[in-house]
Copies of this chain bind each other. A is one copy, B any other.
Amino acid sequence: MSIAPVVDTLERLCTLLRTEVRQRGLRHGLRPVQVEALLYLARCNRYSDTPIAVAEFLGSTKGTVSQTLKILEREGLLTKGPDPDDGRVVRLELTPVGRALSAELALPPALEEALADDREWTERLSVDLRRLLGGMQRAAGHKTFGTCHTCRFFRRESSGFRCGLTGEALSESDSELICREHKLGAAAEAPSGDSRPAEEGRLGSLDP
């Protein structure tokens, strides 16, 4: 058996999904990239709300993203602010309008409808797709952009959660956001706390 059917179906699925997003975004005067940037910014954590992070997430360049963000700012969907620690860095924050719009655009109706019937199947699909995504990201050498729960730097301590990379404490909701420093893979060098080896071999845990 060849992998061609999977490739075909996935490509078709992508085209369909993009068509949906394009049409729904267009109703609000937004291009697909703009929608994707908006959705990312609504779901990223405090290490990841900068133009360069958006560019990495979208697989684009900082120049292109700079223009996209300029438009989103002009439309009143986000604001730019200085970083207190690094004078080069710009921090992006969605306005209430931007946040409301991202919530509205987040769920493609066709996908929602296709999944509505079967919870068990949705669950299995979720796990399989994550595994596929992880495999592709490793193969392509890209950043993984996952949430803290699946990250090799994630630490569970008696007092709560902590990022093993920055050392900062993380709230429950913090750890459900997308992080640009996210990395899958083997367990990191263990600091304090009850760290343990990755539980599912090369894949890391799958959180749902």
Contact = CB atoms under 8 A, between A and B. Distances in A.
B129 A9 contact: yes
Of A15, A58, A115, A123, the most chain B CB neighbours within 10 A belong to A15
A6 B125 contact: yes
Contacts of A145: 12
Contacts of A208: 1, 5
A14 B18 contact: yes
A181 interface: no
Q: Give chain A's interface secondary structure class.
A: helix
Interface residues of A, number: 59
9 contacts: A1-B122, A1-B123, A6-B125, A7-B111, A11-B17, A110-B136, A110-B139, A111-B139, A114-B139
Given A5-B126, A128-B128, 15 more contacts: A1-B208, A3-B116, A3-B122, A6-B111, A6-B115, A6-B125, A10-B13, A10-B17, A13-B129, A13-B136, A18-B18, A18-B59, A22-B59, A113-B136, A125-B132
